[in-house]
Amino acid sequence: MSIEMKNEKPLEKELLLDVKNLKVHFDIESKSLWPWAKPGKLKAVDGVDIQLYQGETLGVVGESGCGKSTFARAIIGLVEATEGQVVWLGDDVTKLSKEERRETRKDMQMIFQDPLASLNPRMTVGDIIAEPLKTFYPKLSKTEVKDQVKQMMDKVGLLPNVINRYPHEFSGGQCQRIGIARALILKPKMIICDEPVSALDVSIQAQVINLLKELQQEMGLSLVFIAHDLSIVKHISDRVLVMYLGNEVEMGESKALFNDPKHPYTRALMSAVPIPDPRIERAKKIEMLEGELPSPMNPPSGCVFRTRCPLADESCAQTRPRLQGSITHAVSCLKVNF
């Protein structure tokens, strides 16, 4: 992380994923009439670090456009990283050949935000779930593939008699169960969940979240869980990363971060979470953010949050803060001390 943190392991579990100073920058063509005008640079992710341990869930939160999904896609290889390392079980996958990287994908799978759009409408449910098996284990017989598909369908709560139906015949929640089955059919070590319940009704969201937690316990999965709903993140996550404008601003154990947020941006996010008790909800203080969200094409110097931060002074424009603290709670702010 270029991060000043104590080297501690949660419960001494195995480190699966170690992302170091990951950056994803996109070249944007200039709209200038002058032919010599240089293209712009959109800094979608600008130096983020995480560690993911066996069996844990890391929540990733932040407002729209902060780089959460781009960060997740860069980890799994759907977006090419501009700089940094993605170390999976000791190997930097950004330096592997295509064939070597393809092998790592058996252990790194993804569940997407839109359940229906992520499924091929011309394929049956059975073929969709079986596709990873056919890709990575082509020597399996049709009977073996079908048996494994039916077992996985049973795990995610799908009846075996729907194996020959098509995605458009299912509800959003059922389509997401199909997506989960497809991601789990190879028995991966890690699943990246990119806002997997944001397109679903509240009651269905709870069913899918509980299903993911059950499967995590049963299969020993590690999850990177991206979401806007902080109450869901609090419920499912062991640790939480807060992102702002492609940067990390705070990270820590879920209980510590939700009970005692340190960074001004995190405090503003937490204050916006509704509380079921109407008396407490009316009495609580909401910390409003002033100013406009800067463009990732031209982020502020120093601390990227300084243009909206109530604590900022001139020194914040000179130095870019890094996470400081421990793995249980770390904050990226020059004005916050532990």
Residue 262 in domain? yes
The predicted-structure confidence for 53-104, as pLDDT tens digits, reads as follows 999 999 999 988 899 999 999 999 999 999 999 999 999 998 888 888 888 8
Query: Which residue segment(s) compose the domain that 221 sits in?
Result: 4-31+39-107+188-331
Is the separation of the CB atoms in 59 and 209 below 8 Å? no
Residue 277 in domain? yes
Residue 141 in domain? no
Question: How many Å apart are CA 332 and CA 328, to the nearest integer?
Answer: 14
Total domains, the chain: 1
Work out the number of other CB atoms within 10 angstroms of the CB of residue 23.
Answer: 17
Residue 22 in domain? yes
Residue 49 in domain? yes
Residue 159 neighbours by CB under 8 Å, 6+ apart = 153
Residue 118 in domain? no
Long-range contacts (CB closer than 8 Å, 24 or more residues apart) made by 260-263:
260/329, 262/329, 262/331, 262/333, 262/336, 262/338, 263/305, 263/331, 263/332, 263/333, 263/336
pLDDT surpasses 50 at 120: yes
pLDDT surpasses 90 at 34: no
Question: How many Å apart are CA 255 and CA 238, to the nearest integer?
Answer: 8
Q: What is the pLDDT of residue 3?
A: 44
49 phi and psi angles, rounded to 5 deg: -130, 135
Q: What letter would DSSP give residue 174? A: H
Q: Which amino acid does the sequence have at 96?
A: L
Q: What letter would DSSP give residue 103? A: H
pLDDT surpasses 80 at 243: yes
Q: What is the pLDDT of residue 217?
A: 94
- The CATH number given to whatever domain includes residue 248 is 3.40.50.300
Residue 176 in domain? no
The predicted-structure confidence for 134-151, as pLDDT tens digits, reads as follows 999 999 999 999 999 999
Residue 146 in domain? no
Q: 97: buried, middle or exposed (CB in 10 Å: 19+, 13-18, 0-12)?
A: exposed
Is the separation of the CB atoms in 40 and 27 below 8 Å? yes
